[in-house]
């Protein structure tokens, strides 16, 4: 009995989909536009995330040690900061490597090279370059080293300078940009989803309006609400599935044109990202489309079941 009813619902859903072809196309087109905008927001968010990650990788704080700092103290501080959960990466540069980098950076500066050659010993100390998991953590990392510096013995200094204050403006600006982008992305996605629900609801409501007499007849002969609602729910699912597929396909020529350009400016090839994540993008957009179509169908047919 239930199998027969299910088959009839499926059959009625497909018949209704093809019988109201123009209304179905209008619903699919509306959903496709909504899903396309949502998909575009996903790509833009990926670009911004990559750009922010690139900027964040270029912002760090440096801890400079005095040339006479004991190696065991440097190793202790290196291990301590590396174990902090707020720290993403720590790069240690020894005195010898620091001198080599200085020579390479100033090889065309005769004055600097002559001054260096006049010294009997390496004037540079070791240093640590630290990247945090989030720009907001740099202050905490800096406070850790300032506390360590304040506890040092005046006879055996270890830390010469912490560059947090030098980079503080850049770090604060980066944090503000990231927070603003996250808030803007959330607001835009919320507005788009609300607009998609309203537009899809009204479009599918039009499709159901054309079948209002058929719904009235089914109610008169004693059909259950689920039997009446089922075909329209199926149509809503079909609208969402096809709209998701069309939205994903429509991105291909755009990504083909944009890919090399985004790689040049944002260090991310959108075509590569699109092809590598095409199934994920389809499942996300089709899933949103199916939910929108299904919910809109349920809400739109509810008024005819109450009358």
- Which pLDDT score, from 0 to 100, does residue 280 have? 93
Cα separation, 167 vs 56, in Å, equals 12
CA distances from 282 to 247, 248, 252, 289, 292 (A): 8, 6, 12, 10, 15
Where in the chain is CATH 3.30.70.3040?
A: 60-164
The yes or no reply on domain 60-164 and CATH 3.30.70.3040 is: yes
The confidence band for 5, taking pLDDT boundaries of 50, 70 and 90, is low
- Listing from the earlier edge strand, what are the strands of the sheet with 159-162? 87-93, 127-132, 61-65, 159-162
Q: What is the share, in percent, of the chain residues with pLDDT greater than 70?
A: 82
Higher local confidence (pLDDT), 113 or 204:
113
Considering 109-118, 211-220, 273-282, the range whose residues carry the highest mean pLDDT is 273-282
Q: C-alpha angle 18/19/24, rounded to 5°?
A: 60
SS3 content of the chain, % helix, strand, coil (to 5): 75, 5, 15
> Lowest-pLDDT range, 95-99, 113-117, 173-177?
173-177
Higher local confidence (pLDDT), 96 or 109:
96
Cα separation, 142 vs 153, in Å, equals 19
196 has a pLDDT exceeding 60 = yes
78 has a pLDDT exceeding 80 = yes
8 has a pLDDT exceeding 80 = no
Higher local confidence (pLDDT), 75 or 194:
75
Higher local confidence (pLDDT), 63 or 195:
63
Higher local confidence (pLDDT), 8 or 272:
272
- Which pLDDT score, from 0 to 100, does residue 82 have? 92
The 10 Å Cβ neighbour count of residue 37 is 16
- Which pLDDT score, from 0 to 100, does residue 246 have? 93
The confidence band for 80, taking pLDDT boundaries of 50, 70 and 90, is very high
b/e code 41-61 from CB counts within 10 Å (16+ = b)? ebbebbbbebbbeeebeebbb
54 has a pLDDT exceeding 80 = no
Taking phi first (over 0 means left), then psi (-120 to 50 degrees means alpha), and beta for anything else, what does residue 267 get?
Answer: left
Cα separation, 147 vs 150, in Å, equals 5
3-state secondary structure 167-224: HHHHHHHHHHHHHHHHHHHHHHHHHHHHHHHHHHHHHHHHHHHCCHHHHHHHHHCCCC
| DSSP state, residue 118 | T
């Amino acid at each position: 009995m239930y199998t027969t009813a299910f088959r009839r619902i499926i059959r009625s859903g497909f018949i209704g989909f093809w019988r109201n072809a123009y209304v179905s196309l209008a619903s699919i087109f509306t959903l496709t536009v909504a899903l396309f905008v949502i998909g575009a927001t996903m790509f833009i968010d990926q670009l911004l995330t990559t750009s922010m990650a690139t900027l964040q990788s270029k912002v760090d704080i440096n801890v400079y040690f005095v040339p006479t700092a004991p190696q065991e103290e440097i190793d202790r501080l290196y291990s301590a900061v590396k174990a902090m959960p707020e720290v993403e990466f720590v790069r240690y540069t020894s005195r010898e490597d620091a001198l080599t980098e200085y020579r390479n950076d100033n090889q065309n500066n005769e004055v600097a090279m002559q001054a260096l050659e006049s010294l009997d010993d390496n004037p540079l100390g070791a240093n640590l370059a630290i990247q945090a998991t989030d720009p907001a953590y740099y202050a905490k990392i800096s406070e850790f080293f300032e506390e360590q510096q304040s506890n040092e013995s005046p006879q055996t200094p270890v830390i010469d300078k912490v560059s947090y204050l030098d980079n503080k403006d850049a770090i604060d600006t980066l944090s503000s940009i990231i927070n603003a982008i996250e808030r803007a992305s959330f607001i835009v996605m919320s507005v788009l989803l609300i607009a998609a629900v309203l537009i899809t609801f009204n479009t599918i409501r039009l499709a159901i309006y054309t079948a209002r007499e058929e719904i009235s007849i089914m109610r008169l002969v004693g059909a259950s609400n689920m039997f009446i609602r089922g075909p329209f729910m199926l149509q809503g699912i079909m609208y969402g599935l096809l709209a998701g597929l069309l939205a994903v396909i429509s991105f291909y020529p755009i990504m083909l044109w944009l890919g090399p350009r985004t790689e040049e400016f944002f260090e991310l090839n959108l075509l590569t990202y699109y092809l590598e994540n095409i199934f994920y993008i389809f499942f996300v957009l089709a899933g949103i489309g199916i939910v929108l179509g299904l919910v809109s169908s349920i809400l739109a047919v509810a008024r005819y079941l109450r009358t």
